Amino acid sequence: MAVVFERPRALTDQKFRYCPGCHHGIIHRLVAETIDELEIQDRTIAVASVGCSVFSYEYFDTDAIQAAHGRAPAVATGIKRAEPECVVFTYQGDGDLAAIGTAEIVHAAARGENITVIFVNNAVYGMTSGQMAPTTLIGQVTTTSPDGRIPSRAGYPIRVCELLNTLEGPAYLARVSVHDPRHVREAKKAIKEAFQVQLSGKGFSLVEVLSACPTNWHLSPLEAIGWIKEKMIPYYPLGKFRNTMEVKKHG
Amino acid sequence: MDRVLMKGNEAIGEAAIAAGCRYFFGYPITPQSELPEFLSRRLPQVGGVFLQAESEVAAINMVYGAASTGARVMTSSSSPGISLKQEGISYLAASELPCVIVNIMRAGPGLGGIQPSQSDYFQATRGGGHGDYRTIVLAPASVQEIADLVIEGFELADHYRMPVMILGDGTLGQMMEPVRIDGTAKVKIQAKPWALTGKKGRARNIINSLNLDPEKLEMHNRKLEKRYQEIKERETRAERYLTDDAEIVVAAYGIVARVCKAAVDRARAEGIKAGLFRPITLWPFPDMELNEAAGRAGNVLAVEMSLGQMVEDVKLALNGRVPVSFYGRVGGVVPTVANVVEEIKKVSEKYRKVK
């Protein structure tokens, strides 16, 4: 019997610890498929961050390291500078990347560091059980914004791709979503392009993936998908903000 | 190689290169900035990487990344910057990653000043960051010893798989002395099968300090404890000067020990049998060596550029067998030979009366 679907080689058989309806599993799979297709498993180094995906070093069947909260781009920089032939990627959530790790992500991008960042934005601190994140939407209720996020008290959500797009350094910036099969395919394409940018030595690449957190949004998995479409995408528009490869091709 | 005149900070850089270090991540801060400046010129000449990080926090995490690949890597800073690195140092210790961290101490607390100090002794020898861990702490007292200890520091770091700190001060970093660094000696770096290099056919390597199972984490803590015990037994270093017949032994490290050596000579010229004990490893503290040097002395005088930090280790080592006094200058003031001689006289007089 022909195998039509199986676990990517770049994923271990460790069971995911993610909640029902969480999108980390899909995103892990897309990264692993990319590693398989580009045949880079033997030279890839994954940098796990702090948050729900802290155990990603157990899921990716590659060499891996666990970084302190927010520091993954700095750790990835050290690895890439010492092992330039390796493919180095970080896997970070919004609290890790856009709050405590703001300096590290901005400067890794500004240096044009030749690494790939998978940035999972679910508008909430997941692992610590649903506090307000730097990406929490206006009006969104969390355990630390019980009246909804009010700008006069808690400021505004950060659009990371747009912020980094003001810098000269990045070679690839895209925002995608995985809330339906069409968008999953587009997300896969962007993740693969980001790794290809690194392989071609073009520099910093980042894919922001909008992701559901039904547990901390207090929604069913299906309602959470609706929330991405109706609330998140209008504030966080999908698309490619930077693609050095394409400019090269057409230019 | 002939001796050349070098600043302490530059000697650190040249010695690191001689030790096979090809990666440096740092951030400017007085009084150590000559070191990153020097390495920004030198490292590219030997095919290495110099990177000025966005912060000390980022720099130590770049060290964590480079060390995880098995490379010899160094960072440097001065007191306030070393405080910022503490989280990363804790991770390096927990993940058993070797590296060399240089602290050219300035006076604190807070932003403090830029003049020399030894007020980070507690931070350096008691961990500094969170959790039960140790770093080997080496305290040079001359530019030549800076170079020698940097090279030895890389060896110790690799051998024990842990961070090594070079603890100097603004004087040592800034002063020039003749130094011989043999850059032609072939460095043999031991194989590191644990390093991240890409799987390349083997089982994957993971560098990690997270362990949610208390029993397993305790096993890891015990493993580190065993290593620390081994280091305590094997790696203590100290210098003794005229301690055999000394009635008073001055205990001091780093640049202060140089001042105290001159003070010991002057006290001897004035008829006081003084000696000097200089710990070279601050952790592990040379307990046995101190007892051998000062066990028969009438009293011990600890001299530091702090309000009294190393003196606690001196007291712990002697455990009440010998009375211990303390003299310290702070805020960036370096004690003079006259200051120390006066203190030696005062303390000697006090214990003569007691007798």
Q: What is the pLDDT of residue A118?
A: 98
Query: Which CATH number does the domain housing residue B129 bear?
Result: 3.40.50.970
Mean per-residue pLDDT of chain A: 96
Buried b (16+ CB within 10 A) or exposed e, A166-192: ebebbbbbbbbbbbeeebbebbbebbb
Q: Are A96 and A50 in contact (CB under 8 A)?
A: yes
Report residue A175 as tokens.
């925002």
Same domain flag for B306 and B166: no
Q: What is the pLDDT of residue B135?
A: 98
Q: What is the pLDDT of residue A247?
A: 58
Residue B251, beta-bridge partner list: B277, B302
Q: What is the pLDDT of residue A15?
A: 96
Residue A174, beta-bridge partner list: A207, A240
Report residue B72 as tokens.
């010899």
Same domain flag for B56 and B154: yes
Same domain flag for B212 and B265: no
Same domain flag for B144 and B247: no
Q: What is the pLDDT of residue B1?
A: 66
Same domain flag for B64 and B146: yes
Query: Which CATH number does the domain housing residue B274 bear?
Result: 3.40.50.920
Reported as a single tens digit per residue, the pLDDT across A121-155 is 999 999 999 999 999 999 999 999 999 999 999 99
Q: Can you tell me the ipTM of this complex?
A: 0.96
Same domain flag for B177 and B48: yes
Q: What is the pLDDT of residue B355?
A: 62
Domain ranges of chain A: 24-250
Same domain flag for B153 and B260: no
What residue in A sits closest to B69 (Cα-Cα)? A79
Q: What is the pLDDT of residue B295?
A: 85
Residue B183 structural domain: 4-199+207-234
Same domain flag for B276 and B321: yes
Q: Do A71 and B57 touch (CB under 8 A)?
A: yes
Q: What is the pLDDT of residue B266?
A: 98
Q: Do B65 and A41 touch (CB under 8 A)?
A: no
Same domain flag for B273 and B212: no
Same domain flag for B217 and B295: no
User: What domain count does chain B have?
Assistant: 2
Q: What is the pLDDT of residue B352?
A: 82
Segment A41-52 shows an average pLDDT of 98
- Assign domain A24-250 to its CATH superfamily: Thiamin diphosphate (ThDP)-binding fold, Pyr/PP domains (3.40.50.970)
Residue B134 Cα, gap to closest chain A Cα (Å)? 19
Q: Do B51 and A77 touch (CB under 8 A)?
A: yes
pTM tops 0.90: yes
| B chain contacts of residue A83, beta-carbon cutoff 8 Å | 69, 196-198
DSSP state of B58: H
Amino acid making up residue A52: C
Is A82 near chain B, with CB under 8 Å?
yes
Q: What is the pLDDT of residue B156?
A: 97
Q: What are the average pLDDT values for consecutive 10-residue runs of chain B, which has 355 residues?
A: 92 97 97 97 98 98 98 98 98 98 97 96 95 98 98 97 97 96 82 96 96 97 98 98 97 98 98 98 98 94 98 97 97 98 96 74
Q: What is the pLDDT of residue B186?
A: 74
Q: If DSSP codes are grouped into helix, strand and coil, which group holds residue B4?
A: strand
Same domain flag for B277 and B347: yes
**Residue A251 pLDDT class (50, 70, 90 cuts):** very low
Q: Are strands B136-138 and B281-283 parallel, antiparallel or unpaired?
A: antiparallel
Q: What is the pLDDT of residue A232?
A: 98
Q: What is the pLDDT of residue B121?
A: 98
Same domain flag for B309 and B192: no
How many residue contacts between A and B have a Cβ separation below 8 Å? 132
